[in-house]
Amino acid sequence: MAAQAACTRFSDNYDLKEELGKGAFSVVRRCVQKSSGLEFAAKIINTKKLSTRDFQKLEREARICRKLQHPNIVRLHDSIQEESFHYLVFDLVTGGELFEDIVAREFYSEADASHCIQQILESVHHCHHNGVVHRDLKPENLLLASKAKGAAVKLADFGLAIEVQSEQQAWFGFAGTPGYLSPEVLKKEPYGKPVDIWACGVILYILLVGYPPFWDEDQHRLYSQIKTGSYDYPSPEWDTVTPEAKNLINQMLTVNPGKRITASEALKHPWICQRERVASVVHRQETVDCLKKFNARRKLKGAILTTMLATRNFSSKYDAQEVGRSMVTKKGEGSQVKESTDSSTTIEDDDVKEDKKGGVDRSSTVIAKEPEEIRIMCPIKTCSQLSTNSQCSARRQEIIKMTEQLIESINIGDFEAYTKICDPHLTAFEPEALGNLVEGMDFHKFYFDNVLGKNCKAVNTTILNPHVHLLGEDAACIAYVRLTQYMDKQGVAHTQQSEESRVWHKRDNKWQNVHFHRSAVTGPSPFTFNHK
Protein backbone atom coordinates (compact mmCIF):
# COMPACT_ATOMS: atom_id res chain seq x y z
CA MET A 1 0.00 0.00 0.00
CA ALA A 2 1.39 3.39 -1.00
CA ALA A 3 2.30 5.84 1.73
CA GLN A 4 -0.18 8.64 2.30
CA ALA A 5 0.36 12.04 3.85
CA ALA A 6 -1.05 11.81 7.36
CA CYS A 7 -3.16 14.43 9.10
CA THR A 8 -1.90 13.58 12.58
CA ARG A 9 1.30 14.87 14.14
CA PHE A 10 4.45 12.81 13.80
CA SER A 11 4.83 12.45 17.57
CA ASP A 12 1.36 10.87 17.78
CA ASN A 13 2.55 7.88 15.78
CA TYR A 14 6.31 7.65 16.27
CA ASP A 15 9.00 7.93 18.95
CA LEU A 16 12.22 9.53 17.73
CA LYS A 17 15.53 7.85 18.57
CA GLU A 18 19.21 8.51 17.74
CA GLU A 19 20.50 10.46 14.76
CA LEU A 20 21.62 8.40 11.75
CA GLY A 21 22.77 11.12 9.38
CA LYS A 22 22.50 14.77 8.44
CA GLY A 23 22.04 16.80 5.24
CA ALA A 24 21.93 20.47 4.33
CA PHE A 25 18.35 21.05 5.51
CA SER A 26 17.50 17.68 7.00
CA VAL A 27 18.42 15.12 9.61
CA VAL A 28 17.74 11.36 9.56
CA ARG A 29 16.84 9.67 12.84
CA ARG A 30 15.75 6.19 13.80
CA CYS A 31 12.13 6.09 14.92
CA VAL A 32 9.77 3.49 16.35
CA GLN A 33 6.12 3.24 15.33
CA LYS A 34 4.06 3.30 18.53
CA SER A 35 1.30 1.01 17.30
CA SER A 36 3.53 -1.80 16.01
CA GLY A 37 6.95 -1.32 17.59
CA LEU A 38 8.50 -1.47 14.11
CA GLU A 39 11.65 0.56 13.42
CA PHE A 40 11.95 3.06 10.57
CA ALA A 41 14.22 5.87 9.42
CA ALA A 42 12.67 9.35 9.61
CA LYS A 43 14.03 12.04 7.33
CA ILE A 44 13.14 15.33 9.03
CA ILE A 45 13.26 18.39 6.77
CA ASN A 46 13.23 21.90 8.23
CA THR A 47 10.79 23.51 5.79
CA LYS A 48 11.44 27.00 7.20
CA LYS A 49 14.88 26.89 5.59
CA LEU A 50 13.59 25.79 2.19
CA SER A 51 13.15 28.09 -0.78
CA THR A 52 10.02 27.72 -2.91
CA ARG A 53 11.99 25.61 -5.37
CA ASP A 54 13.44 23.42 -2.61
CA PHE A 55 9.93 22.82 -1.28
CA GLN A 56 8.79 21.81 -4.77
CA LYS A 57 11.70 19.37 -4.87
CA LEU A 58 10.64 17.90 -1.54
CA GLU A 59 7.08 17.42 -2.77
CA ARG A 60 8.38 15.75 -5.92
CA GLU A 61 10.56 13.29 -3.99
CA ALA A 62 7.67 12.34 -1.71
CA ARG A 63 5.31 11.95 -4.68
CA ILE A 64 7.76 9.71 -6.53
CA CYS A 65 8.59 7.58 -3.50
CA ARG A 66 4.91 6.98 -2.75
CA LYS A 67 4.35 5.22 -6.04
CA LEU A 68 7.49 3.06 -5.96
CA GLN A 69 6.79 -0.15 -4.05
CA HIS A 70 9.46 -2.77 -4.78
CA PRO A 71 11.63 -5.12 -2.70
CA ASN A 72 14.78 -3.57 -4.20
CA ILE A 73 13.81 0.04 -3.47
CA VAL A 74 13.95 1.77 -0.08
CA ARG A 75 10.26 2.21 0.65
CA LEU A 76 8.50 5.34 1.85
CA HIS A 77 5.96 4.32 4.50
CA ASP A 78 4.66 7.68 5.67
CA SER A 79 4.78 11.38 4.82
CA ILE A 80 3.74 13.90 7.47
CA GLN A 81 3.68 17.68 7.00
CA GLU A 82 3.71 19.91 10.07
CA GLU A 83 4.08 23.66 10.47
CA SER A 84 7.90 23.81 10.39
CA PHE A 85 8.96 20.27 9.53
CA HIS A 86 8.18 17.60 6.97
CA TYR A 87 8.71 13.97 7.98
CA LEU A 88 9.43 11.22 5.45
CA VAL A 89 9.36 7.77 7.07
CA PHE A 90 11.42 5.20 5.16
CA ASP A 91 12.56 1.59 5.60
CA LEU A 92 15.32 1.35 8.19
CA VAL A 93 18.14 -0.04 6.06
CA THR A 94 20.90 -1.47 8.28
CA GLY A 95 23.20 -3.37 5.92
CA GLY A 96 25.30 -0.43 4.77
CA GLU A 97 26.59 0.14 1.25
CA LEU A 98 26.70 -2.76 -1.21
CA PHE A 99 30.29 -1.96 -2.23
CA GLU A 100 31.46 -2.00 1.39
CA ASP A 101 29.83 -5.39 1.92
CA ILE A 102 31.53 -6.87 -1.13
CA VAL A 103 35.05 -6.09 0.11
CA ALA A 104 34.24 -7.76 3.44
CA ARG A 105 33.17 -11.03 1.80
CA GLU A 106 35.38 -14.10 1.89
CA PHE A 107 34.26 -15.06 -1.62
CA TYR A 108 33.19 -12.88 -4.55
CA SER A 109 32.75 -14.03 -8.13
CA GLU A 110 31.39 -12.90 -11.47
CA ALA A 111 28.18 -14.74 -10.62
CA ASP A 112 27.86 -12.61 -7.46
CA ALA A 113 28.30 -9.47 -9.57
CA SER A 114 25.55 -10.76 -11.86
CA HIS A 115 23.20 -11.20 -8.90
CA CYS A 116 23.99 -7.68 -7.65
CA ILE A 117 23.34 -5.97 -10.99
CA GLN A 118 20.18 -8.04 -11.48
CA GLN A 119 18.69 -6.56 -8.30
CA ILE A 120 19.76 -3.07 -9.37
CA LEU A 121 18.17 -3.59 -12.79
CA GLU A 122 14.98 -4.88 -11.15
CA SER A 123 14.71 -1.63 -9.19
CA VAL A 124 15.45 0.47 -12.29
CA HIS A 125 12.90 -1.47 -14.33
CA HIS A 126 10.26 -0.78 -11.66
CA CYS A 127 11.14 2.93 -11.72
CA HIS A 128 10.94 3.13 -15.51
CA HIS A 129 7.70 1.14 -15.61
CA ASN A 130 6.22 3.78 -13.28
CA GLY A 131 7.53 6.72 -15.31
CA VAL A 132 10.43 7.57 -12.99
CA VAL A 133 14.06 8.26 -13.95
CA HIS A 134 16.42 8.11 -10.95
CA ARG A 135 19.26 10.21 -12.47
CA ASP A 136 21.72 9.49 -9.64
CA LEU A 137 22.56 5.79 -9.73
CA LYS A 138 25.94 5.33 -8.00
CA PRO A 139 27.50 3.12 -5.28
CA GLU A 140 26.49 5.47 -2.44
CA ASN A 141 22.82 4.89 -3.31
CA LEU A 142 23.02 1.08 -3.40
CA LEU A 143 22.36 -0.25 0.10
CA LEU A 144 21.69 -3.62 1.73
CA ALA A 145 18.48 -4.27 3.65
CA SER A 146 20.37 -5.85 6.56
CA LYS A 147 23.71 -7.39 7.49
CA ALA A 148 22.34 -10.89 6.96
CA LYS A 149 23.98 -12.97 4.23
CA GLY A 150 22.08 -12.60 0.97
CA ALA A 151 20.23 -9.44 2.08
CA ALA A 152 18.43 -7.60 -0.71
CA VAL A 153 20.07 -4.69 -2.53
CA LYS A 154 18.02 -1.50 -2.09
CA LEU A 155 18.08 1.55 -4.36
CA ALA A 156 17.94 4.75 -2.30
CA ASP A 157 17.82 8.54 -2.60
CA PHE A 158 15.29 9.81 -5.11
CA GLY A 159 16.19 13.45 -4.53
CA LEU A 160 17.13 13.95 -8.19
CA ALA A 161 14.50 11.63 -9.66
CA ILE A 162 12.10 12.98 -12.28
CA GLU A 163 8.79 11.85 -13.74
CA VAL A 164 8.52 11.20 -17.48
CA GLN A 165 5.74 10.24 -19.85
CA SER A 166 6.40 6.83 -21.45
CA GLU A 167 9.60 7.10 -23.55
CA GLN A 168 9.72 10.90 -23.31
CA GLN A 169 13.06 12.54 -24.10
CA ALA A 170 13.54 16.15 -22.98
CA TRP A 171 16.12 18.42 -21.36
CA PHE A 172 15.38 18.08 -17.64
CA GLY A 173 18.52 19.87 -16.50
CA PHE A 174 22.09 18.85 -15.78
CA ALA A 175 21.99 16.30 -12.95
CA GLY A 176 23.95 13.30 -11.72
CA THR A 177 27.43 12.39 -10.47
CA PRO A 178 30.48 13.01 -12.73
CA GLY A 179 31.71 9.48 -13.39
CA TYR A 180 28.18 8.16 -13.94
CA LEU A 181 26.81 10.87 -16.24
CA SER A 182 25.65 9.74 -19.68
CA PRO A 183 26.91 11.19 -22.99
CA GLU A 184 23.53 12.77 -23.78
CA VAL A 185 23.47 14.67 -20.49
CA LEU A 186 27.03 15.94 -21.02
CA LYS A 187 26.08 17.04 -24.54
CA LYS A 188 22.98 18.80 -23.14
CA GLU A 189 20.73 16.78 -25.42
CA PRO A 190 17.20 15.55 -24.61
CA TYR A 191 17.34 12.52 -22.35
CA GLY A 192 15.16 10.06 -20.45
CA LYS A 193 15.25 6.54 -19.04
CA PRO A 194 18.45 5.44 -20.86
CA VAL A 195 20.58 7.65 -18.55
CA ASP A 196 19.93 5.16 -15.73
CA ILE A 197 21.08 2.25 -17.90
CA TRP A 198 24.33 4.04 -18.70
CA ALA A 199 24.98 4.44 -14.96
CA CYS A 200 24.20 0.73 -14.49
CA GLY A 201 26.87 -0.03 -17.08
CA VAL A 202 29.44 1.98 -15.12
CA ILE A 203 28.41 0.22 -11.90
CA LEU A 204 28.64 -3.23 -13.52
CA TYR A 205 32.12 -2.46 -14.85
CA ILE A 206 33.22 -1.52 -11.31
CA LEU A 207 31.56 -4.62 -9.85
CA LEU A 208 33.70 -6.81 -12.11
CA VAL A 209 37.16 -5.24 -11.71
CA GLY A 210 36.95 -2.73 -8.84
CA TYR A 211 37.67 0.43 -10.83
CA PRO A 212 35.56 2.62 -13.18
CA PRO A 213 35.55 2.55 -17.01
CA PHE A 214 36.01 6.32 -17.29
CA TRP A 215 38.72 7.97 -15.25
CA ASP A 216 40.74 11.17 -15.34
CA GLU A 217 41.70 13.71 -12.68
CA ASP A 218 40.89 16.43 -15.22
CA GLN A 219 37.14 16.74 -15.57
CA HIS A 220 37.25 17.97 -19.15
CA ARG A 221 39.17 14.86 -20.23
CA LEU A 222 36.85 12.66 -18.16
CA TYR A 223 33.79 14.10 -19.91
CA SER A 224 35.46 13.71 -23.30
CA GLN A 225 35.95 9.99 -22.56
CA ILE A 226 32.29 9.61 -21.63
CA LYS A 227 30.94 11.54 -24.64
CA THR A 228 32.81 9.26 -27.03
CA GLY A 229 32.34 6.09 -25.00
CA SER A 230 36.12 5.61 -24.75
CA TYR A 231 36.70 2.65 -22.44
CA ASP A 232 38.44 -0.70 -22.81
CA TYR A 233 39.03 -4.04 -21.08
CA PRO A 234 42.74 -4.07 -20.14
CA SER A 235 44.72 -7.20 -19.32
CA PRO A 236 45.16 -9.09 -17.13
CA GLU A 237 42.12 -8.37 -14.97
CA TRP A 238 39.62 -8.51 -17.84
CA ASP A 239 41.08 -11.70 -19.33
CA THR A 240 39.17 -13.77 -16.76
CA VAL A 241 35.82 -12.03 -17.33
CA THR A 242 33.42 -13.92 -19.60
CA PRO A 243 32.53 -12.51 -23.05
CA GLU A 244 28.86 -12.42 -22.04
CA ALA A 245 29.58 -9.99 -19.19
CA LYS A 246 31.51 -7.69 -21.54
CA ASN A 247 28.68 -7.92 -24.07
CA LEU A 248 26.17 -6.68 -21.50
CA ILE A 249 28.44 -3.79 -20.51
CA ASN A 250 28.85 -2.85 -24.17
CA GLN A 251 25.08 -2.73 -24.64
CA MET A 252 24.69 -0.58 -21.51
CA LEU A 253 27.54 1.78 -22.42
CA THR A 254 26.27 2.46 -25.93
CA VAL A 255 26.70 6.17 -26.67
CA ASN A 256 23.49 6.41 -28.72
CA PRO A 257 20.66 6.26 -26.12
CA GLY A 258 18.24 5.03 -28.77
CA LYS A 259 20.37 1.92 -29.28
CA ARG A 260 21.16 1.39 -25.60
CA ILE A 261 19.70 -1.72 -23.98
CA THR A 262 16.64 -1.21 -21.72
CA ALA A 263 16.26 -2.49 -18.16
CA SER A 264 13.72 -5.07 -19.33
CA GLU A 265 16.05 -6.31 -22.08
CA ALA A 266 19.05 -6.40 -19.75
CA LEU A 267 17.17 -8.62 -17.30
CA LYS A 268 16.69 -11.11 -20.15
CA HIS A 269 20.39 -11.12 -21.06
CA PRO A 270 21.94 -14.62 -20.67
CA TRP A 271 24.58 -13.33 -18.24
CA ILE A 272 21.72 -12.25 -15.94
CA CYS A 273 18.94 -14.77 -16.37
CA GLN A 274 21.21 -17.79 -16.98
CA ARG A 275 24.04 -16.89 -14.61
CA GLU A 276 24.36 -20.46 -13.29
CA ARG A 277 25.37 -21.57 -16.79
CA VAL A 278 27.12 -18.45 -18.13
CA ALA A 279 28.78 -16.45 -15.33
CA SER A 280 32.13 -17.53 -13.88
CA VAL A 281 32.22 -18.67 -10.25
CA VAL A 282 35.96 -18.13 -9.72
CA HIS A 283 36.87 -15.92 -6.75
CA ARG A 284 38.01 -12.45 -7.90
CA GLN A 285 40.50 -11.35 -5.21
CA GLU A 286 42.04 -8.61 -7.38
CA THR A 287 38.59 -7.10 -7.85
CA VAL A 288 38.08 -7.03 -4.08
CA ASP A 289 41.50 -5.41 -3.56
CA CYS A 290 40.84 -2.74 -6.20
CA LEU A 291 37.37 -2.12 -4.82
CA LYS A 292 38.85 -1.45 -1.37
CA LYS A 293 40.96 1.34 -2.85
CA PHE A 294 37.99 2.64 -4.85
CA ASN A 295 35.88 2.77 -1.68
CA ALA A 296 38.67 4.53 0.21
CA ARG A 297 38.86 7.32 -2.38
CA ARG A 298 35.09 7.78 -2.24
CA LYS A 299 35.08 7.93 1.56
CA LEU A 300 37.93 10.43 1.68
CA LYS A 301 36.10 12.87 -0.57
CA GLY A 302 32.90 12.29 1.38
CA ALA A 303 34.65 12.96 4.70
CA ILE A 304 36.13 16.23 3.46
CA LEU A 305 32.78 17.38 2.05
CA THR A 306 31.06 16.46 5.31
CA THR A 307 33.60 18.50 7.26
CA MET A 308 33.08 21.51 5.02
CA LEU A 309 29.32 21.20 5.36
CA ALA A 310 29.55 20.89 9.13
CA THR A 311 31.51 24.12 9.37
CA ARG A 312 29.29 26.21 7.10
CA ASN A 313 28.04 29.50 8.47
CA PHE A 314 25.17 30.95 6.46
CA SER A 315 23.21 33.88 7.82
CA SER A 316 20.78 33.95 4.92
CA LYS A 317 19.91 32.47 1.57
CA TYR A 318 21.67 35.46 0.03
CA ASP A 319 24.95 34.34 1.61
CA ALA A 320 24.61 30.92 0.05
CA GLN A 321 23.97 32.37 -3.38
CA GLU A 322 26.93 34.74 -3.08
CA VAL A 323 29.23 31.91 -2.05
CA GLY A 324 28.03 29.87 -5.00
CA ARG A 325 28.81 32.67 -7.40
CA SER A 326 32.21 33.31 -5.84
CA MET A 327 33.28 29.67 -6.20
CA VAL A 328 32.09 29.03 -9.77
CA THR A 329 34.94 30.19 -12.00
CA LYS A 330 34.81 30.60 -15.74
CA LYS A 331 37.44 29.23 -18.09
CA GLY A 332 40.71 31.08 -17.73
CA GLU A 333 39.78 32.77 -14.45
CA GLY A 334 42.39 31.32 -12.15
CA SER A 335 42.51 27.93 -10.54
CA GLN A 336 39.70 25.44 -10.70
CA VAL A 337 38.61 22.45 -8.68
CA LYS A 338 38.53 19.30 -10.80
CA GLU A 339 36.16 16.52 -9.82
CA SER A 340 37.20 13.01 -10.79
CA THR A 341 35.07 10.02 -11.66
CA ASP A 342 35.13 8.37 -8.24
CA SER A 343 33.56 11.37 -6.56
CA SER A 344 30.39 10.97 -4.58
CA THR A 345 29.51 14.59 -5.29
CA THR A 346 26.13 15.05 -6.94
CA ILE A 347 25.56 17.68 -9.61
CA GLU A 348 22.25 19.38 -10.31
CA ASP A 349 21.52 22.25 -12.66
CA ASP A 350 19.74 25.11 -10.92
CA ASP A 351 17.59 25.71 -14.01
CA VAL A 352 15.65 22.50 -14.52
CA LYS A 353 13.32 22.76 -17.51
CA GLU A 354 10.19 21.69 -15.68
CA ASP A 355 10.56 23.31 -12.27
CA LYS A 356 7.36 21.76 -10.97
CA LYS A 357 9.21 18.45 -10.84
CA GLY A 358 11.71 19.50 -8.15
CA GLY A 359 13.49 17.08 -5.63
CA VAL A 360 14.78 17.09 -2.05
CA ASP A 361 17.79 19.07 -0.80
CA ARG A 362 21.21 17.48 -1.20
CA SER A 363 23.92 17.71 1.42
CA SER A 364 26.63 17.63 -1.24
CA THR A 365 24.87 19.24 -4.18
CA VAL A 366 26.90 20.97 -6.82
CA ILE A 367 25.28 23.56 -9.08
CA ALA A 368 26.49 23.79 -12.65
CA LYS A 369 25.23 26.03 -15.44
CA GLU A 370 27.30 24.33 -18.14
CA PRO A 371 29.02 20.94 -18.05
CA GLU A 372 32.25 22.56 -19.25
CA GLU A 373 32.31 24.86 -16.22
CA ILE A 374 31.45 22.57 -13.33
CA ARG A 375 33.15 23.36 -10.06
CA ILE A 376 32.64 22.02 -6.58
CA MET A 377 30.45 24.57 -4.85
CA CYS A 378 31.32 24.32 -1.18
CA PRO A 379 28.63 25.87 1.05
CA ILE A 380 31.12 28.05 2.89
CA LYS A 381 32.43 31.58 2.65
CA THR A 382 35.71 32.19 0.87
CA CYS A 383 38.60 33.86 2.65
CA SER A 384 38.22 37.02 0.57
CA GLN A 385 34.69 37.42 1.87
CA LEU A 386 35.65 36.90 5.48
CA SER A 387 38.70 38.99 6.19
CA THR A 388 41.74 40.81 4.83
CA ASN A 389 44.66 39.17 3.08
CA SER A 390 46.85 39.64 6.16
CA GLN A 391 44.29 37.86 8.34
CA CYS A 392 44.12 35.00 5.83
CA SER A 393 47.90 34.74 5.80
CA ALA A 394 48.02 34.68 9.60
CA ARG A 395 45.40 31.94 9.73
CA ARG A 396 47.32 29.86 7.19
CA GLN A 397 50.45 30.14 9.31
CA GLU A 398 48.39 29.11 12.32
CA ILE A 399 47.30 25.93 10.51
CA ILE A 400 50.90 25.13 9.53
CA LYS A 401 52.02 25.66 13.13
CA MET A 402 49.25 23.39 14.48
CA THR A 403 50.24 20.72 11.96
CA GLU A 404 53.88 20.95 13.07
CA GLN A 405 52.82 20.60 16.72
CA LEU A 406 50.74 17.54 15.90
CA ILE A 407 53.61 15.87 14.05
CA GLU A 408 56.00 16.67 16.90
CA SER A 409 53.65 14.90 19.36
CA ILE A 410 53.87 11.86 17.07
CA ASN A 411 57.66 12.05 16.86
CA ILE A 412 58.09 12.02 20.65
CA GLY A 413 55.24 9.57 21.29
CA ASP A 414 53.19 12.02 23.41
CA PHE A 415 49.65 10.64 23.14
CA GLU A 416 48.24 13.17 25.62
CA ALA A 417 49.43 16.09 23.49
CA TYR A 418 48.15 14.31 20.37
CA THR A 419 44.64 13.91 21.81
CA LYS A 420 44.49 17.59 22.72
CA ILE A 421 45.12 18.54 19.10
CA CYS A 422 42.82 15.93 17.51
CA ASP A 423 39.06 15.60 17.54
CA PRO A 424 37.97 12.52 19.59
CA HIS A 425 36.17 11.23 16.48
CA LEU A 426 39.14 11.81 14.17
CA THR A 427 38.77 9.97 10.85
CA ALA A 428 41.76 8.80 8.83
CA PHE A 429 42.98 6.92 5.79
CA GLU A 430 46.55 5.67 6.27
CA PRO A 431 48.56 2.70 4.98
CA GLU A 432 48.43 0.86 8.33
CA ALA A 433 44.61 0.71 8.04
CA LEU A 434 44.86 -1.13 4.70
CA GLY A 435 42.57 1.24 2.82
CA ASN A 436 39.88 1.35 5.50
CA LEU A 437 38.48 4.52 7.05
CA VAL A 438 39.49 4.59 10.73
CA GLU A 439 37.45 6.59 13.24
CA GLY A 440 38.38 7.52 16.81
CA MET A 441 41.64 7.33 18.77
CA ASP A 442 41.98 3.63 19.64
CA PHE A 443 43.72 2.69 16.38
CA HIS A 444 46.32 5.44 16.86
CA LYS A 445 46.79 4.77 20.60
CA PHE A 446 48.15 1.30 19.81
CA TYR A 447 51.08 2.85 17.94
CA PHE A 448 51.73 5.43 20.64
CA ASP A 449 51.77 2.70 23.30
CA ASN A 450 53.94 0.24 21.39
CA VAL A 451 55.96 1.95 18.67
CA LEU A 452 56.22 5.73 18.56
CA GLY A 453 59.29 7.22 20.22
CA LYS A 454 60.69 3.79 21.09
CA ASN A 455 62.46 2.61 17.93
CA CYS A 456 64.94 5.41 17.25
CA LYS A 457 67.35 7.77 18.98
CA ALA A 458 66.31 11.02 17.31
CA VAL A 459 63.62 12.18 14.87
CA ASN A 460 63.34 15.39 12.87
CA THR A 461 60.40 16.19 10.60
CA THR A 462 60.19 18.88 7.93
CA ILE A 463 56.97 19.96 6.22
CA LEU A 464 57.65 20.68 2.55
CA ASN A 465 55.45 22.72 0.18
CA PRO A 466 52.50 23.23 2.55
CA HIS A 467 49.31 24.41 0.83
CA VAL A 468 46.55 25.68 3.12
CA HIS A 469 42.98 26.15 1.87
CA LEU A 470 40.82 28.20 4.24
CA LEU A 471 37.27 26.85 4.32
CA GLY A 472 35.64 29.75 6.13
CA GLU A 473 36.39 31.31 9.52
CA ASP A 474 36.69 28.02 11.40
CA ALA A 475 37.81 25.31 8.97
CA ALA A 476 40.85 24.66 6.81
CA CYS A 477 42.58 21.93 4.81
CA ILE A 478 46.36 21.56 4.51
CA ALA A 479 48.30 19.39 2.05
CA TYR A 480 52.06 18.87 2.29
CA VAL A 481 55.01 16.52 1.89
CA ARG A 482 56.31 15.15 5.20
CA LEU A 483 60.06 14.48 5.24
CA THR A 484 61.30 12.59 8.31
CA GLN A 485 64.97 12.13 9.28
CA TYR A 486 65.92 9.78 12.10
CA MET A 487 68.69 7.75 13.69
CA ASP A 488 67.89 4.13 14.48
CA LYS A 489 69.18 2.34 17.59
CA GLN A 490 72.29 1.22 15.71
CA GLY A 491 73.15 4.85 14.92
CA VAL A 492 72.29 4.58 11.21
CA ALA A 493 70.66 7.62 9.60
CA HIS A 494 67.49 7.21 7.53
CA THR A 495 65.12 9.48 5.59
CA GLN A 496 61.49 8.79 4.85
CA GLN A 497 58.82 10.69 2.85
CA SER A 498 55.01 10.65 2.70
CA GLU A 499 52.28 12.88 1.29
CA GLU A 500 49.59 14.01 3.73
CA SER A 501 46.46 16.13 3.88
CA ARG A 502 44.63 17.22 7.03
CA VAL A 503 41.28 18.87 7.66
CA TRP A 504 41.15 21.27 10.63
CA HIS A 505 38.09 22.65 12.43
CA LYS A 506 38.04 25.36 15.10
CA ARG A 507 35.79 24.65 18.08
CA ASP A 508 35.65 26.95 21.13
CA ASN A 509 38.45 29.02 19.62
CA LYS A 510 40.70 25.94 19.42
CA TRP A 511 41.89 24.19 16.25
CA GLN A 512 41.41 20.40 16.09
CA ASN A 513 42.39 17.91 13.41
CA VAL A 514 39.18 16.15 12.31
CA HIS A 515 40.46 14.12 9.33
CA PHE A 516 43.74 13.17 7.66
CA HIS A 517 44.91 11.12 4.69
CA ARG A 518 48.47 9.81 4.49
CA SER A 519 50.02 8.07 1.49
CA ALA A 520 52.29 5.05 1.66
CA VAL A 521 55.77 6.07 2.82
CA THR A 522 58.93 5.90 0.72
CA GLY A 523 61.94 4.64 2.64
CA PRO A 524 62.00 2.74 5.96
CA SER A 525 59.78 4.15 8.68
CA PRO A 526 61.01 4.93 12.19
CA PHE A 527 57.56 4.00 13.43
CA THR A 528 57.43 0.30 12.63
CA PHE A 529 58.32 -2.85 14.54
CA ASN A 530 61.23 -3.51 12.17
CA HIS A 531 63.63 -0.94 13.65
CA LYS A 532 64.58 -2.36 17.05
Non-local (6+) Cβ contacts of 359 within 8 A are: 57, 58, 60, 61, 158, 159, 160, 161, 162, 348
**What's the rounded Cα separation, in Å, for the pair 494 and 490?**
11
CB atoms within 10 A of CB 506: 18
CA 129 to chain centre: 28
Burial string for 265-280 (b: 16+ CB within 10 Å, else e) reads ebbebebbeebeebbb
CA 211 to chain centre: 15
- Which three-class secondary structure string do you get for 387-438? CCHHHHHHHHHHHHHHHHHHHHHHHCCCHHHHHHHEEEEEEEECHHHCCCCE
Burial of 505 (0-12, 13-18, 19+ CB in 10 A): buried
Sheet holding 475-488, edge to edge: 438-439, 422-429, 510-518, 493-507, 475-488, 456-470
Active site residue: 54, 136, 349, 423, which one? 136
Structural contact between residues 282 and 241, judged by C-beta atoms closer than 8 angstroms: no
Closest Cα partner for 494 from 529, 531, 520? 531
Q: Report in angstroms the alpha-carbon separations of 425 from 79, 256, 305, 440, 509.
A: 33, 47, 16, 4, 18
Q: What is the β-pairing status of strands 510-518 and 493-507?
A: antiparallel
Non-local (6+) Cβ contacts of 56 within 8 A are: 355, 356, 357, 358
Q: Residue 516: beta bridge partners?
A: 428, 502
List, as one string, the DSSP characters of 316-358: SHHHHHHHHHHH---TTSS------TT---EEE-SS-SSGGG-
350 as an active site residue: the answer is no
Burial string for 84-93 (b: 16+ CB within 10 Å, else e) reads eebbbbbbbb
- Which three-class secondary structure string do you get for 476-530? EEEEEEEEEEEEECCCCEEEEEEEEEEEEEEECCEEEEEEEEECCCECCCCCCCC
3-class DSSP state for residue 385? helix
Whether 43 has a binding-site annotation, put simply, is yes
Structural contact between residues 340 and 219, judged by C-beta atoms closer than 8 angstroms: yes
Burial of 37 (0-12, 13-18, 19+ CB in 10 A): exposed
- Residues involved in catalysis: 136
Binding site for ATP: what residues are annotated? 43
